[in-house]
Structure 1
Amino acid sequence: MHTQYRIRPMQPADLPAAAAVHRLAFVRQNHSHEWLGATLNAYPRFLCYLAEDQGAVVGYILWAQKSGFRDQAVLELDQIAVLPARHGQGIGRALIDQSLPLVKSELAQQGSTLKHIIVNTRADNHAQQLYRAVLGAEVVATITDLYSADEVFVVARNLAL
């Protein structure tokens, strides 16, 4: 398993490669380039990072500041994607572990600290285990038939402490 991934801020020039990851990771979604471009353009509300392995984009993570710019920020792990052929290689963990300090630095520059992280995902998504292991997130609610199936909302609380 290769564990040395380069995590860096996503730039407009990265959109084609990131969109290719999105298309493969989220086959029910459309307009990958437009979706990621709109998210990237929403900086600093959205903070976008890539994972590279030997110069190739293998995943990305999108963080969203929720409910305004606050002294104690509530972030949403809005989306995380890894090339399906690269699942199980620690890329998702690296994206969270290595982008979170960068996010906290961005928050500090705006005079904010991180309070909580929320995530929603399909109830059958194995990534819940990652969110629990890396963030300490716990399921707080399930909404039936929200997108393509039941969705769970998980929260990692009091991260500023």
Structure 2
Amino acid sequence: MKVRLMTQSDLSAAADIHRLTFIRQEQSLQWLQCNLNAFPRFLCFVAEDKKCIVGYIIWSQKSGFRPKAILELEQLAVSPNHRNKGIGRALITHSLPLIKTQLALNNATIKHILVTTRADNFAQSLYQSTLGAEIEATISNLYSSDEVLMIARDLDL
């Protein structure tokens, strides 16, 4: 499996994964297109296995371009047929060095990583084990349920 920057030609496959993963959200292709077009504020990556897109991750730089960047893991999705195979973990761990390289072009490093997710999302353990993110706050009834705000602090990656 390879993790690489998302391209225009990946959008249709990534939109299919988005549609199947985030069933309450609409306009999957338009959502992903907007994020891809906002590079380098949004850094979009795909996981490709045997020339098939099996997942994607979107990172965003928060509150401007800074020497010590605050990143948000904006969205992570894996195709239902490829879940529980370590692809989500690989998307996180393999995209971070690529982000580090991109930030270095502007003499920047990663300071903190922010993640928001449903309070009942099993992926919290993934964010804790891969990033060291800890729950900082719970926000009641934000989207479709309670959301937790997780932060991995002082990374200096």
- Is the shorter-chain TM-score for this pair beyond 0.5, marking a shared fold? yes
2:77 to 69, 75, 81: 81
CA distance in 1, matches of 2:79, 2:10: 15
SS of 1:105's equivalent in the other structure is helix
Deviations 1:73-118, CA, capped at 9 Å, x for gaps: 0000000000122211000000001000000110001110100000
Equivalent residue, structure 1, for 2:59:
63
Q: Percent identity?
A: 58
Q: TM-score, with normalisation over the residues of structure 1?
A: 0.96
The alignment of Structure 1 onto Structure 2 pairs a total of residues equal to 157
2:97 is aligned with 1:101: yes
Equivalent residue, structure 2, for 1:116:
112
CA distance in 1, matches of 2:123, 2:82: 14
The one-letter amino acid paired with 1:22 is H
Summarize the alignment of residues 1-161 of structure 1 with structure 2, pairs less than 5 Å apart: 5-160=1-156
Deviations 1:126-155, CA, capped at 9 Å, x for gaps: 000000000000000000000000000000
The one-letter amino acid paired with 1:42 is A
CA distance in 2, matches of 1:110, 1:31: 33
The one-letter amino acid paired with 2:48 is E
CA distance in 1, matches of 2:17, 2:90: 16
SS of 1:21's equivalent in the other structure is helix
SS of 1:126's equivalent in the other structure is coil
Gaps of 5+ in 1: none
Residue 13 of structure 1, CA deviation: 1.2
Deviations 1:32-79, CA, capped at 9 Å, x for gaps: 000000000000100000001111000000000000000100000000
What is the CA RMSD across the aligned residues, in angstroms? 0.7
Gaps of 5+ in 2: none
Q: TM-score, with normalisation over the residues of structure 2?
A: 0.98
